[in-house]
Chains A and B, each alone.
Chain A
Amino acid sequence: MAVITFTIDDIQYSAHEGDTVLNVAHANNIHIPTLCYLEGLSPFGACRLCMVEVEGSPKLFPACTTKPAEGMIVRTKTDRLKKYRRMIVELLASEGNHQCAVCVVNGHCELQDLAYEVGLDHVRFPYLFPNKSLDATHKEFVIDRNRCVLCTRCVRVCHEVEGAHVWDIAWRGINCEIISDMNQPWGDSQLCTSCGKCVRVCPVGALLEKGQTVGELRKERSFVKFIVNARTKREWITNGIEEDE
């Protein structure tokens, strides 16, 4: 298998077939912010937070779907990228109803972490205050679409890992929403196995467990990669599973 040598932020790294810029970076402790990406799920390329610069191209590339090429020079922390990452989080903050103070994942929320990371001290765009629905018909879980960032991790984990495909996206543009079955109440879903994977992968407090209050919900997300690894590569972890936190 051919090894490719390329540069991330002035240091050379080697990559193998099937690698992406993002996983090489993560494997080498280079932090690139992500939101829709989750190890174990197919890359989606939608949040645009992992965009990097590649020397010789005026375009920006999402690290999660870009394959390293021999001699490629990647930059992950330029001023332009920092500015755009801040704006992306700013747009997300204005899009939904993100009130951290009353949220179950307050303190353990990926959107909140991103806001700290990109230095989002204020939002310059008017808040859209969407009037989206909340579905609490499921016996164990709730979906509050007002907090959804449309990363589609729930859609992908349900389709790719659980194999149930309860979730999908309806409508388009700013009106996009995650729906269960053919836009039927979640509690009525005959497909849902109540496995809870969607709740655990959700980066924000849009999918939650019933009976928890502000700041109580902690999500452990690394289980996806272990399941997928076990299933596809027949690799089992015998000496304990590392904790997310």
Chain B
Amino acid sequence: MTIDELRELAENERTRQKQYISRILYCSSAGCLSGGSDSVKAEFKKAIEEKGLGKTCELVGTGCLGLCGEGPLVLVQSADMTLYQHVDAKTARRIVEEHIVSGKKVEECQIDVNGPFFSSQKKIVLENMGKINAESIEEYIAAGGYEALAKAVTEMKPEELIGEIRKAGLRGRGGAGYPTGLKWDIVRKSVSEQKYVVCNADEGDPGAFMDRSVLEGDPHRVLEGMAMAGYAVGANQGYVYVRAEYPLAIDRLKLAIKHAEKLGLLGNRIFESQFSFHIDIRIGAGAFVCGEETALLRSVMGRRGRPKPRPPYPSEKGLWDKPTVINNVETYANIAPIVRNGSAWFAAIGTQKSPGTKVFALAGKINRTGLIEVPMGIPLRKVIFDIGGGTPEGSEFKAAQTGGPSGGCIPKEHLDIPVDYESLQTVGSIMGSGGMIVMDSTSDMVDVAKFFMEFCMDESCGKCIPCRVGTKHIYMMLDKVIRNEATEEDFALLQELCVMVKETSLCGLGQSAPNPVLSTIRFFKDEYTVKLKRATEFVPDEGNGAQ
């Protein structure tokens, strides 16, 4: 494959797509699939065949369309874009018969594509969602795919590529926000015959599904990003570590790797250069702690997923003690757009310290739940009220929880906080990988803290004592608070233990496990104190006691 061949392929695909007057793009991500988009697809297929529209109307399974709470979603692309919600088999038939055949839209199921949910977003990582077929490499190439890889491999030196990423200011989207270019540079400079690139797709936070959606809807974007990381640091082997709970993502990734290898976009001598890069999939066995990088690497090597102390960092000693780049799915998904459009374009989006966008999975007590991508620095209020449509009628916004079991709650007095790495930290929360759970006046914050603590307790690997035993005791104490049996003394001990677990635990799981508790105590202390039992007063026994 050469660049010219790639461009020819893209042109052929665009011509193929143009022969259709309309394209029906149904969401084929896990959310809408569980809502029945499979039967919707079957009905569309039947209706298109019955009406003899096979030559003018194309049916495409695309990535996540965003408004997951209103699924199954269907986007009809003809002269304009029409988005339909809650599509069932009956509506599917009507869409074909009324919209496609006679041009009359099915208005009661329509959603405004220019509404606030869509207009306040900025799509970079999710740009291909609702545009391309998730299982077609040709459609990805037609949308500009693998052009960045071609440019990097044939026109740029590895140092130049890293320079671009550094200038763009991209920071790790897994949650910690470490500068990606810097990480790559460390690996590039380390001397070793063998280096590795690893993609962390072990997304485990409750309520988070950003990485799953990217892998299901646009897997090639991640592969392209990984290949560029390989070129930049001098690695020839990559691993995607996906959790087994994402079977669809695994299937699509496998297919994507197969397609890319067939076209020579992965494998030996990519774009007829000296650069070779292979990608294999490793499937997790259901441990949250394997999202921690050192545990993940051990798991990739087939060993027990247990973190080990850093340093040495994976960039010095990673897989089989070789220098290893490990980044999150969303980080890799940002690489191709940066190389294609230039670092200046990317750096201009978002804030100065946190350029670019962030994908969030919006869930909880909110009117519009789903997958969103917003520029960094956007006020939280805008995310929750403009995009999310606020809390359901009759209830009041209470807090937003970011960062899952590692994060904290942001109460309503901080609603105007800009969503970026540093600002969220100032209120005791973290950016995290992108879960955002909204709570309203009906949510009990102690219960929220207990939920997350139970999660961390179950998921602790058991290696270090503070996390193994500490999370168990924190959980039991929270339960005691909820049962109205805890005293002031217990409450003080709870806080002491939380700080101790945070400061002494071995890995990120334990170090951040107390965050939901500390954060709810910080902002909703009243909810704890009203549940405390008053210390029983000591009444001296009068008369008949021992002398």
- Interface of A toward B, CB cutoff 8 Å: 44-48, 51, 59-60, 62, 65, 67, 80, 83-84, 87-88, 91-92, 94-95, 124-126, 128, 149-150, 168-169, 171-176
Give Cα A174 to B470, complex, Å: 9
Q: Is the CB of B460 within 8 A of A87?
A: no
Residues of B within 8 A of A46 (CB): 463-465, 506
Closest residue of chain A to B507 (Cβ to Cβ) is A45
- Nearest CB in chain A to that of B461: its residue: A172
Please indicate the chain A residues that have their CB under 8 angstroms from the CB of B459 in the complex.
Answer: 172-173
Please report which residues of chain B, range 502-544, place their CB below 8 angstroms from some CB of chain A when the two chains form the complex: 503-506
Highest count of chain B CB atoms <10 Å: which of A44, A48, A84, A94: A48
Interface string of B180-197 (1 = CB under 8 A from A): 000000000000000000
Residues B461 and A87 in contact, CB atoms below 8 Å apart: no
Contacts of A67 in B (CB 8 A): 311
Chain A to chain B contacts (Cβ below 8 Å), 11 pairs: A45-B309, A46-B464, A46-B465, A87-B500, A91-B469, A91-B473, A92-B465, A149-B465, A150-B468, A174-B472, A176-B468
- In the complex, which residues of chain B have a beta carbon less than 8 angstroms from the beta carbon of A62? 309, 506
A26 CA to B475 CA, complexed, in Å: 37
| Residues from chain A with Cβ under 8 Å of B497 in the complex | 87
B362 CB within 8 Å of chain A: no
* Per-residue contact bits, chain B 427-468, to A (CB 8 Å; 1 contact, 0 not): 000000000000000000000000000000111111111101
Interchain CB contact under 8 A, A150 and B462:
yes
Alpha-carbon separation in the docked complex, A47 to B470 (Å): 12
List of B residues within 8 angstroms of A171 by Cβ = 462
Q: Which of B243-293 contact A (CB under 8 A)?
A: 287, 289
In angstroms, Cα B503 to Cα A175, docked, is 23
Q: Kindly provide the distance from the CB of B123 to the nearest chain A CB, expressed in whole angstroms.
A: 37
Interface residues on chain B, number (Cβ under 8 Å) = 31
Cα(A46)–Cα(B510), bound, Å: 12
Neighbouring B residues of A95 by C-beta, 8 Å: 465, 468-469
Q: Is B86 an interface residue (CB 8 A)?
A: no
Q: Which of chain A's residues have a CB closer than 8 A to the CB of B289? A: 172
Query: Which A residues touch B304, using CB under 8 A?
Result: 168-169
Q: Which residue of A lies closest to B505 (CB)?
A: A48
Judged by a CB distance under 8 angstroms, whether B476 is at the interface is yes
Q: Which one of B462, B473, B476, B504 contacts A48 once the chains associate, using CB atoms below 8 Å?
A: B504
Q: Are A88 and B466 in contact (CB under 8 A)?
A: yes
Question: Which residues of chain A are near B465, meaning CB under 8 Å?
Answer: 46-48, 88, 91-92, 95, 149
What does the 1/0 interface line of B471-508 toward A look like (CB < 8 Å)?
Answer: 11100100000000000000001001100100111100
- Flag whether B308 is at the interface (Cβ < 8 A): yes
Q: Which B residues form the contact surface with A (CB < 8 A)?
A: 287, 289, 304, 308-309, 311, 457-466, 468-473, 476, 493, 496-497, 500, 503-506
Q: Determine which of A60, A94, A169, A173 lies in contact with B473 in the assembled complex, contact meaning CB atoms within 8 Å.
A: A94
Verify B468–A174 contact, CB threshold 8 A. Answer: yes
**C-alpha gap A87/B473 in the complex (Å):** 12
Chain B hits for A149, CB < 8 A: 465
User: Chain B contacts of A176 at CB under 8 A?
Assistant: 461-462, 468
Minimum distance in angstroms from B408 CB to a CB of chain A: 18
Closest to A168 in B: B304
**Contact of A174 (CB < 8 Å), options: B287, B457, B500:** B457
Q: State the CA gap A169–B465 with chains docked (Å).
A: 15
Check B460–A172 contact: CB distance below 8 A: yes
Q: Are A47 and B464 neighbours in the complex by a CB distance under 8 Å?
A: yes
Q: In the assembly, what is the distance between CA of A51 and CA of B464, in Å?
A: 12
**Which residues of B sit under 8 angstroms from A94, Cβ to Cβ?**
469, 473
Contact A173 B470 (CB under 8 A): no
Given A62-B309, A125-B473, A126-B476, are A175 and B466 also a contact pair (CB < 8 Å)? Answer: no
Minimum CB distance partner of B471 in chain A: A173
Q: Which residues of A contact B309 (CB under 8 A)?
A: 45, 62, 65
The closest CB in chain A to the CB of B304 belongs to A169
The answer to whether A172 and B466 have CB atoms under 8 Å apart is no
On chain B, the residues within 8 Å of A128 by CB distance are: 472
B460 lies within 8 A of A48 (CB): no
In the assembled complex, which residues on chain A have CB atoms less than 8 Å from the CB atom of B311? 67
For A83, list chain B residues within 8 Å (CB): 500
Q: Kindly list chain A residues whose C-beta atoms are within 8 Å of the C-beta of B464.
A: 45-48
B485 to chain A, nearest CB (A): 12
A112 vs chain B, min Cβ distance (A): 16
Q: Would you call A124 and B505 a contact (CB within 8 A)? A: no
The closest CB in chain A to the CB of B306 belongs to A169
Q: How far is the CB of A138 from chain B (nearest CB, A)?
A: 24
Pick the contact of A45 from B457, B460, B470, B506 — CB < 8 Å?
B506
Nearest CB of B to A31, in Å: 19
Chain A residues with Cβ below 8 Å from B472 are: 128, 173-174
Q: Which residue of A lies closest to B467 (CB)?
A: A173
- Which residue of chain A lies nearest to B310 when distances are taken between CB atoms in the complex? A65
Assuming the contacts A60-B504, A62-B309, asked whether A48 and B466 have C-beta atoms less than 8 A apart, the reply is: yes
Alpha-carbon separation in the docked complex, A171 to B305 (Å): 11
- What is the CA–CA distance of A166 and B476 in the complex, to the nearest angstrom? 34
Contacts of B468 in A (CB 8 A): 95, 150, 173-174, 176
Closest to A151 in B: B465
**Looking across the interface, which residue of chain A has its beta carbon closest to that of B457?**
A173
Question: Which residues of chain B have C-beta atoms less than 8 A from A126's C-beta?
Answer: 473, 476
